[in-house]
């Protein structure tokens, strides 16, 4: 049995005493849970949030805080960008698959502006400033940034690019203040509690309670060593994060991610996914993962990223998470950045400090043959790659991977090689299959009565591709809808 304990449902008839009850019980107080609580309370429901840890926020509060929004938000307009729901829909369709949930993509793009306005009404602060350097996050408190490769090949050729990474305004990072995720979760949890939602901390979800007619009637959890049953008069919303920290589930579903969980919290143990599967819930995209590569995007973009054979893997000006996905899923998390002095200097001059030390080359040499030996790259492979890159770059072109001309320049000796081997981590994107109102599908594609889910407990708007902000985005968007739907039952 998994560490989380049994996930099998308990028949309602076997519950001798309910230790609490509410119209809507929300499992998890991260971004999806908070949004679900607000959504349910807005429909007049009595809401109880059950949270594993001693505090609010989940993985969201520790995140950079990107929320993927667009279609013409007030923030996009204030920064001078045109965007439409159609363009956003087209981009998501092109970039987030395979494994797309078309219905979710459609409603998400369609109602993204409204969702931004709702976040603002909840008190989430955004500063109307656009950040335009290659980085994982802005240098300061800018509110808008490209976060999905919209302005790079192949997407820039398909859809008019618009930046859609919306960031809550944080205090300047240099002062040590909390980041964008915190500044998202602070107002959302405040709003939830002002709406009347109650929160029970230190209460670890275990399993669902099932009524004789198959309806989900509540949950069983553990709190300070005791088992408690909590009744949900209308519905349960599972919003307890990914399964990135369940090593067994990762081994069975996303082996490339084994040993590499990141941007998630230990509580992402998959228990709520298993508990729903135990009542017949269906899952989708369990193979999919977000993947970060731990280095400076400003360095990658000015150099080339190669695999263990010295072959380039992707256009280095795309969303750095796509580089991470390519390395993790297609190149066994093995890779290097090859750059020259100018690239290193320019990257350093433009680097956004993220608390990580500045990248240091592992090897420096004028001689590519020497570097190949050091890197254990087959003889001649790196030289062939650099030779061809330089030949094309002399014409300002990259016909191999289509990096934009502004980032293409022949690399000159001495070369510095930065070791990326094993420097990837990520979290899982698969989970429960839900409709656009968070109802959890059974294997027949029918909703399980009384059961809702949102966020990384579910398969969301991203699968084969990803953009920073897709998880806080779809977690808050579909979390809110799930809360409303549960309340209306």
Task: Catalog residues that contact a copy of itself under the rule CB under 8 A.
Answer: 1-2, 6-8, 97-99, 251-256, 258, 274-275, 277-280, 282-287, 309, 311, 330, 378-381, 384-385, 387-388, 391-392, 399-400, 433, 442-446, 459, 463-464
Comparison of 123 and 464: residue with beta carbon closer to a copy of itself: 464
- Please state the closest distance from residue 17 (CB atom) to a copy of itself, in A: 24
For a copy of itself, give the closer residue by CB, 8 or 215.
8
Q: Which lies closer to a copy of itself via its Cβ, residue 237 or residue 254?
A: 254
Kindly tell me the burial class for residue 135, based on how many C-beta atoms sit within 10 Å of its own C-beta (0-12, 13-18, 19 or more).
buried
Asked if 434 and 452 count as a contact pair (C-beta separation under 8 A), the reply is: yes
Which CB atom, from 85 or from 464, has the smaller least distance to a copy of itself?
Answer: 464
The distance in angstroms from the start CA to the end CA of the chain is: 34
Residue 77 neighbours by CB distance under 10 Å: 13
In whole angstroms, how far apart are CA 196 and each of 108, 290, 343? 27, 34, 54
> Of the two residues 188 and 240, which places its CB atom closer to a copy of itself in the complex?
240
User: 381-393 vs 368-375: helix axis angle to the nearest 10?
Assistant: 130
Q: Shortest approach of a copy of itself to residue 113 CB, angstroms? A: 30
Distance CA 141, CA 150 (A): 21
From the CB of 396, what's the least distance to a copy of itself, in Å? 14
Beta bridge partners, 219, equal 208, 230
In degrees, rounded to 5, the angle at the alpha carbon of residue 465 between the alpha carbons of residues 464 and 468 is: 140
Min dist. Cβ of residue 406 to a copy of itself (A):
19
Calpha distance 384→129 (Å, rounded): 42
Tokens of 475: 């977690």
253 vs 456, beta carbon nearer a copy of itself:
253
Name the minimum Å distance from CB 199 to a copy of itself. Answer: 28
The distance of closest approach from Cβ of residue 254 to a copy of itself in the complex, given in angstroms and rounded to an integer, is: 8
Nearer to a copy of itself, 55 or 255 (CB): 255
Say how far apart CA 97 and CA 114 lie, in whole Å: 24
In sequence order, the 6+-apart residues with CB closer than 8 A to the CB of 92 are: 100, 105, 108, 109, 461
Cα-Cα-Cα-Cα torsion 308, 314, 319, 324, nearest 10 degrees, comes to -20
User: Cβ of residue 272: shortest distance to a copy of itself, in angstroms?
Assistant: 11
Tell the smallest beta-carbon distance from residue 265 to a copy of itself (Å). Answer: 22
Taking a C-beta distance cutoff of 8 angstroms, is the pair 441, 435 a contact? yes
387 vs 414, beta carbon nearer a copy of itself:
387
């Amino acid at each position: 049995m998994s560490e989380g304990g049994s996930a099998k449902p308990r028949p309602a008839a076997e519950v001798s005493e309910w230790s609490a009850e509410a119209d809507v019980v929300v499992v998890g107080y991260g971004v999806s849970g908070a949004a679900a609580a607000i959504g349910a309370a807005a429909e007049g429901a009595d809401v109880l949030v059950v949270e594993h840890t001693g505090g609010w926020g989940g993985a969201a509060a520790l995140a950079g805080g990107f929320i993927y929004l667009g279609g013409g938000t007030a923030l996009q307009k204030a920064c001078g960008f045109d965007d439409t729901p159609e363009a956003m829909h087209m981009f998501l369709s092109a970039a987030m698959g395979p494994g797309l949930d078309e219905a979710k993509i459609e409603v998400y793009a369609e109602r993204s502006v409204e969702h931004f306005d709702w976040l603002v009404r909840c008190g989430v602060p955004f500063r109307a400033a656009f950040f335009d350097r290659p980085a994982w996050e802005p240098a300061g408190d800018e509110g808008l940034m490209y976060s999905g490769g919209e302005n790079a090949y192949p997407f820039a050729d398909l859809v008019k690019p618009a930046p859609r990474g919306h960031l809550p305004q944080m205090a300047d990072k240099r002062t040590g203040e909390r980041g964008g995720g915190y500044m998202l979760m602070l107002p959302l949890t405040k709003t939830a509690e002002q709406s009347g939602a109650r929160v029970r901390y230190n209460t670890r979800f275990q399993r669902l309670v099932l009524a004789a007619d198959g309806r989900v009637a509540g949950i069983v959890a553990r709190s300070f060593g005791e088992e408690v049953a909590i009744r949900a008069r209308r519905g349960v919303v599972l919003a307890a994060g990914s399964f990135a920290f369940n090593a067994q589930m990762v081994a069975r579903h996303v082996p490339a991610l084994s040993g590499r969980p990141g941007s998630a919290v230990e509580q992402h143990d998959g228990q709520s996914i298993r508990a729903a599967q135990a009542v017949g819930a269906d899952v989708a995209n369990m193979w999919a993962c977000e993947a970060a590569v731990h280095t400076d995007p400003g360095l990658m973009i000015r150099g080339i990223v190669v695999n263990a054979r010295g072959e380039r893997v992707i256009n280095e000006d795309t969303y750095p998470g796509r580089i991470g996905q390519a390395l993790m899923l297609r190149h066994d998390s093995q890779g290097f950045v090859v750059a020259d002095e100018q690239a290193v200097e320019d990257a350093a001059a433009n680097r956004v400090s993220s608390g990580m030390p500045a990248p240091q080359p592992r090897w420096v040499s004028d001689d590519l043959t020497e570097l190949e030996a050091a890197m254990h790259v087959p003889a001649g492979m790196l030289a062939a790659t650099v030779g061809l890159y330089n030949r094309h770059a002399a014409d300002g072109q990259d016909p191999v991977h289509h990096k934009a001309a502004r980032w293409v320049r022949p690399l000159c000796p001495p070369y510095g090689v930065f070791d990326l081997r094993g420097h990837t981590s990520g979290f899982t994107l698969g989970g429960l299959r839900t409709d656009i109102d968070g109802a959890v599908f059974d294997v027949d594609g029918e909703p399980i009565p009384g059961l809702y889910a949102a966020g990384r407990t579910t398969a969301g708007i991203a699968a084969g591709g990803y953009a920073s902000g897709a998880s806080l985005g779809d977690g808050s968007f579909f979390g809110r809808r799930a809360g409303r739907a549960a309340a209306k039952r």
